[in-house]
Structure 1
Amino acid sequence: MARAGPRAREGIMDQGGLRKTGRRILAAAALGAALVAAPPARAQTKEELAAARVLFQEGVALSAANNCAAALAKFQAVANVRRTPQVLFNIAECEARLGKLVSALGNYRMAAAAAEGDPRANDVTANVGARIEDLEARVPRLAIRRGAGALTATILLDGTALGAAEMSGDIPVDPGPHVVAARIGGREVVRETVTLEEGHAKTVEITIAEPPAAAAPTAGAPPPGSPAAATAIPAAAARPSKVPGLVALGAGIALGAAGGVFLGLRAGTLSDLDALCGGDRSCPPSARPTADRGRLYTGVAEATIGLGVIGVATGIVLLATSSGGAAEPDAGAAAARSAARRSTGGRVRRAEVLPQAPGADLAGLSVAGSF
């Protein structure tokens, strides 16, 4: 027998496809009739039933035109009015063609259960078994198991947490990519994308790496996390800086040196005053500017030397503290005072304003020959 050429075979295939589509349309029309005849779950109005018939016929036409998404929406709207075996069967048909194999398998099974014992659903009964058998072979299977470190983790598949029953068996999933994740304490620690094809099965083991071991503590240091570690301060940070002490000491020395300069000026003024006033300690009016100058030098010398002593004492105390020694402030101050006494010859002479003395002629005052 001669074999048909390519164009002849193509024609045969087209005719077969047309016949198959025609049968699907006729079967859908029969299912539509069964829909109207099926007993309702609740009493629908005539308007609701009429609208459902229109939606069903629109769904059949869209399915025949291979617009499965739009047809599925029509059939689902019909199911809201009357959920018959025929409606469930058509919903499953659209879902299977859209790649929603898991949902389609469920709707086929519900259609089979609803068609049992219903003589108006003979078309469903005749076809649904083969559909279920075909989908059970096509639906991919994903097994997720707990590995090391994942015993207490929450396992999620496509954002939904899995229970113990799902973790113990194979999970039917639609073909395509799926995200497997693990969370511990609200923090995602594992995330993996798994892609499955029709009829394939895959096992994913969730393992969570242990956190890195903490570095060994330094000898003599308290262990991390202990109260001693929380309060421990490095020696370099606990020891005060020497800079304040050096600054205070330098300022004290500078002030002491300035006081010494003014003491020298004061000594020169004393010599001038002694020459003007003579040996009786009385001074003429012309000696008053010299006396005022001597009092000024004396006051400045006292102030600078006093501040210098304080600065030197403070600097010594700060330096002793910063070096870790238990310096005694009193001892440092005593050393500073001793140094000041040595720089001024052992005493600080003060200017004395005496009450009126014999021979005084400076407005009733007499300026002593020493300050």
Structure 2
Amino acid sequence: MERRGLRRSSWHRSISAAALGAALSAPPSARAQSKEELAEARALFQEAVALSAANNCAAALAKFQAVANVRRTPQVLFNIAECEARLGKLVSALGNYRIAAAAADGDPRAYDVSAHVGARIEDLEARIPKLAIRRGEGALTATILLDGAALGASEMSADIPVDPGPHVVSARVGDREAARETVTLEERDAKTVEITIADLPAAPQPASASPAAASAESSRRGAPSPAGRRSKVPGLVVLGAGIASGAAGGIFLGLRAGTLSDLDALCGGDRSCPPSARPVADRGRLYTGVAEAAIGLGVVGVAAGIALLVTSGGAAAAEPEAGARAAGAAAAGRAGAAAAGRAGAGLFRAAVLPQAPGADVAGLSVAGRF
């Protein structure tokens, strides 16, 4: 009994102070009402009492609150709390019961309120659910909200009285929601919710992001940016040119073969040729030189085209494997060109002699081989 008396006296003093503050902050019209306003307030009060008796608490509450705007008597506050309690607004009802008790203290005209308000307060204190919210991993600096209202440090360190029903607990980091949980409480429940933030959601990419920012974001995620990709067109062009050059070299090799046949006919199958064979030999040297150059360029072009195609599919900085393949293709091209040069160098050899071997008169003779 002593403990209950002490508890009552403590909240009694706090509610008395709250009631005094409410009275001091009331507008001047609340202290000096006209007869018409008071008559209208009495009529509203009687209507509200009738609605409450008919169990239409929502309509009764609206009328009681309109009466309180004119005059806040202990009876009006008590009836507001009664309607709120029946509507499930237990936290607000408890507050209005306490204010009504403080206003009725020492007022002989509010004896009926003083006689019943204590039991109402004790009943609601036991029925109101309690919700404890704690910060978990990753949520130490986040803003914690309960039903959309940010909580302070004192609320986070104590149990929060809430109305029965569902409640949303969320956490925000900056302007982004990082965690969200819905918890439902019944009357007399006590629950604890721990807010943890495992992974902060990524901020949406603005539509007006610059190309440089998009490229940096792509690089950070490991994806090549559009600007860092190389076109395959140069590789295809070089490859096609190499193939065409090689084909031209083959054509000139065919012409060289025809020249060999002509020289065989003019020279009789030996190494000594008459002066009339010199144009044919010159033509053979020309075909041989052109074939050498065309085949060498064709091999280099094909190798370079393949290297460009290998390195054109990814970012500007190719992977080590692609770089090795390109280097190998280039080396093969150079080796092929050198081999073609050596092969071409042995295709034809011709010399102009001051005197044909075996001739009995002075003159010029072309001796050569391909």
Residues 1:346 and 1:77: Cα distance change in structure 2 (over 3 Å)? farther
Give the structure 1 partner of residue 15 of structure 2: none
Q: Which amino acid aligns with 1:314?
A: G
Which segment is superposed worse, 187-196 or 52-61? 187-196
Give the structure 2 partner of residue 31 of structure 1: none
Q: 1:256 Cα deviation (Å)? A: 1.1
Q: Specify every segment of 5 or more residues in structure 2 that has no aligned partner in the other structure, as ranges.
A: 1-27, 201-218, 224-231, 266-273, 277-282, 308-322, 351-370
Aligned partner of 1:97 among 79, 86, 89: 86
The whole-number CA distance in structure 2 between the counterparts of 1:209 and 1:138 is 35
Give the structure 1 partner of residue 251 of structure 2: 258
Give the structure 2 partner of residue 36 of structure 1: none
Q: Which amino acid aligns with 1:71?
A: A
Q: 1:75 Cα deviation (Å)? A: 1.5
Q: 1:67 Cα deviation (Å)? A: 0.4
Aligned partner of 2:300 among 307, 313, 327: 313
CA RMSD of aligned residues (A): 4.7
The whole-number CA distance in structure 2 between the counterparts of 1:246 and 1:189 is 54
The whole-number CA distance in structure 2 between the counterparts of 1:154 and 1:103 is 25
Residues 1:328 and 1:147: Cα distance change in structure 2 (over 3 Å)? closer
Looking at CA atoms only, which structure, 1 or 2, has the larger radius of gyration? 1
User: After superposition, what is the alpha-carbon deviation per residue over 1:260-291, rounded to whole angstroms, capped at 9, x for unaligned?
Assistant: 2244557789999xxxxxx998xxxxxxxxxx
Residues 1:230 and 1:60: Cα distance change in structure 2 (over 3 Å)? closer
3-state secondary structure, aligned to 1:151: coil
Give the structure 1 partner of residue 52 of structure 2: 63
CA contact (8 A) 1:251 1:312 kept: no
CA contact (8 A) 2:129 2:163 kept: yes
Q: Which amino acid aligns with 1:345?
A: F
The whole-number CA distance in structure 1 between the counterparts of 2:342 and 2:295 is 12
Matches within 5 A, 1:88-237: 88-184=77-173, 188-207=177-196
Q: 1:251 Cα deviation (Å)? A: 4.3
Q: Which amino acid aligns with 1:310?
A: L
3-state secondary structure, aligned to 1:324: helix
Would you say 1:345 and 2:342 are equivalent positions?
no
Q: 1:205 Cα deviation (Å)? A: 3.8
3-state secondary structure, aligned to 2:140: coil
Paired residues in the alignment total: 267
CA contact (8 A) 1:256 1:340 kept: no
Q: 1:150 Cα deviation (Å)? A: 4.0
Residues 1:247 and 1:167: Cα distance change in structure 2 (over 3 Å)? same
Identity of aligned residues (%): 63
Give the structure 1 partner of residue 74 of structure 2: 85
Residues 1:271 and 1:62: Cα distance change in structure 2 (over 3 Å)? same
User: After superposition, what is the alpha-carbon deviation per residue over 1:182-220, rounded to whole angstroms, capped at 9, x for unaligned?
Assistant: 445555554433332222323334455699xxxxxxxxx
The whole-number CA distance in structure 2 between the counterparts of 1:231 and 1:119 is 76
The whole-number CA distance in structure 2 between the counterparts of 1:79 and 1:231 is 62
The whole-number CA distance in structure 1 between the counterparts of 2:177 and 2:252 is 74
Q: 1:107 Cα deviation (Å)? A: 0.9
Q: Specify every segment of 5 or more residues in structure 1 that has no aligned partner in the other structure, as ranges.
A: 1-38, 212-228, 234-240, 273-278, 282-294, 348-371
User: Could you tell me the TM-score, scaled by structure 1's length?
Assistant: 0.56
User: Could you tell me the TM-score, scaled by structure 2's length?
Assistant: 0.56
